[in-house]
Amino acid sequence: MIRVMENIDLAQCGMIYAKAFPMEHWGIDWTAENATEYLRDFFEQKRFVGYVYEENEEVLGCIFALCKISGSKEEIYINEMAVLPERQGHGIGKQLLNAVKDYSKEKGLAGIVLYTSEYAPAAKFYEKNGFKLSKGTICMYYEYNMVLKNDYCKKMYPTREEAEKILMEAEGCNPGPWGNHSRTAAHCAEAIAARSGMDSEKAYVLGLLHDIGRKFGKRHLGHVSDGYSYMMSLGYDDVARICLTHSFNEKDISKYVGKFDTTEEETSLIKDELNAIELDDYDRLIQLCDSIAGAEGVMDQIERMTDVKARYGAYDQEKWDTNIRLRKHFEDMMGEDLYVVVDKDNYRPEQII
Ligand SMILES: [Fe+2]
């Protein structure tokens, strides 16, 4: 249920805020303590309006807003909103937003204002809830010797159109069925992400570029380090990560299916970077899609793994089992059959540009 925020809620709000805005995505090292102090500044303002969402006496989400007189009208500014990550996607944010909307309506305010990063998924959430880009207002910034906060939130992957262009160019350098295999992986990733509460655009781009290292020739393990270095050079760190992780669902380089054709330097690069990564659902998603993506369309997972095994002579059993577990993991998230979601029987890849 939604209720008005009280002083006693602030510590829990700080904890939620620190979890909802992690360092790796936002570039700020929030802790429960510093987030609580940050939020307390809003809470203590005279015209503060705040609500929490509570279940079984536990606060799971919060919204911090402030009424302001702007010219002849009065508006409400949403300063912060946070929902515990594991409870996101279940309508808590919407209820918190509705509480502010109701307040605003009741007080006869002119509207609700908020700022968010162009690159963060939050913008889509607000759009879905009736917010529009403000016309006639621009956000300006005077930069000293500091990094613009939004740079931290910059997308670390290209747009869909850019990614399609990158793939086409790469296929020109090294033509082969890997291009359409990548398109099938992208198609599957997009469809699964859309039903798993993940960013489907990001999933599509990661699927499309996971094998981009193949641009540089017919290499086996080498395509992993080639892809990683290429994407890092373009500032697409999220794609670079996928170039690495898609081949190692156990994060273990020794389980690679194919020839170990990397230099010592490339092997250490793969090992070091893999060690530093904790696999997330995007890594798992592309691993799964790689295990069902054929050049002609979506394949049965077992058939594809059998085919790879026949081509390379072996397929690590743990890797095989993990792929099957990945299918279950996403089917549980979606509540639907994998092959139905990816339209296995009908989807055929084709070049888009
Ligand atoms: Fe692949």
Residue 115 φ then ψ, to 5°: -115, 135
Q: What share of the chain is helix, strand, coil (3-state, %, to 5)?
A: 55, 10, 35
Of the given ranges (79-83, 153-157, 203-207), which has the lowest mean pLDDT? 153-157
Average pLDDT over residues 256-267: 86
Confidence of residue 25 (pLDDT cuts 50, 70, 90): low
Greater model confidence, 124 or 25: 124
**If you average pLDDT over residues 149-166, what whole number do you get?**
78
The torsion of the CA quartet 233, 236, 237, 238, rounded to 10 degrees, works out to -150
Determine the distance separating the centroid of ligand 1 and the alpha carbon of 108, expressed in angstroms.
Answer: 56
- Of 50-54, 134-138, 263-267, 289-293, give the lowest mean pLDDT range: 134-138
CB 228 within 8 A of CB 244: yes
pLDDT for position 149: 47
* CA atoms within 13 Å, Cβ hemisphere of 245: 25
Q: Give the pLDDT confidence score for residue 144 in this predicted structure.
A: 58
CA of 220 to the centre of ligand 1 (A): 11
pLDDT in tens, 99-115: 999 999 999 999 999 98
User: 265 C-alpha vs ligand 1 centroid, how far in Å?
Assistant: 23
Distance in Å, CA 77 to ligand 1 centroid: 46
β-pair partners for 51: 4, 63
Cβ atoms of residues 60 and 87 within 8 Å = yes
Residue 283: pLDDT above 60? yes
Question: What tokens were used for 106?
Answer: 């009741």
CA dihedral 100, 105, 109, 113 (to 10 degrees): 40
What are the CA-CA distances from residue 137 to residues 18, 113, 129, 140 (Å)? 30, 11, 20, 10
Instruction: Give the bridge partners for 52, in sequence order.
Output: 3, 62
What is the pLDDT at residue 195? Answer: 94
Indicate the SS3 state at residue 285.
Answer: helix
How many A from CA of 333 to the centre of ligand 1?
23
The rounded distance, in Å, linking the Cα atoms of 147 and 230 is: 25
Q: How far is the CA of 221 from the centre of ligand 1 (A)?
A: 12
Segment 43-58, tens digit of pLDDT: 999 999 999 999 999 9
Better pLDDT: 253 or 47: 47
Question: Percentage of the chain surpassing pLDDT 90?
Answer: 66
List CB-based neighbours of ion ligand 1 within 5 Å.
211, 290
Calculate how far, in angstroms, residue 293's C-alpha sits from the geometric centre of ligand 1: 7
Distances (CA, A) of 171 to 75, 167, 180, 187: 53, 6, 10, 18
Question: Amino acid identity of 70?
Answer: S
pLDDT at 253 over 60: yes
pLDDT tops 60 at residue 152: no
Calculate what percentage of the chain has a pLDDT beyond 70. 94
pLDDT > 70? residue 70: yes
pLDDT above 80 (res 24):
no
The mean per-residue pLDDT over the stretch 11-21 comes to 95
CA of 250 to the centre of ligand 1 (A): 16
Between the alpha carbon of residue 228 and those of residues 5, 44, 111, 266, the distances in Å are 46, 47, 46, 10
> Distance from first CA to last CA of the chain, Å, rounded?
49
Extended strands (E) in 26-86? 48-55, 58-70, 73-83
**Cα–ligand 1 centroid distance for 194 (angstroms):** 21
Whether residue 23 is predicted with pLDDT greater than 60 in this model: the reply is yes
How much distance in Å is there from the Cα of 225 to the middle of ligand 1?
14
Q: Is residue 181 scored above 90 in pLDDT?
A: yes
Residues 297-314 have pLDDT tens digits of 999 999 999 988 898 888
Q: What angle do CA 262, 266, 270 make, to 5 degrees?
A: 105
Domains of the chain: 2-133 (3.40.630.30), 160-341 (1.10.3210)
> pLDDT digits over 122-150, tens only?
788 888 899 988 887 887 877 655 544 44
Residue 37 is which amino acid?
E
Compute the mean pLDDT over every residue in the chain, rounded to the nearest whole number. 90
Q: What is the pLDDT of residue 119?
A: 65
Q: pLDDT value at position 287?
A: 96
Interval 258-281 mean pLDDT? 89
Looking at residue 352, its pLDDT comes to 59
pLDDT of residue 117: 74
What is the model's pLDDT at position 251? 78
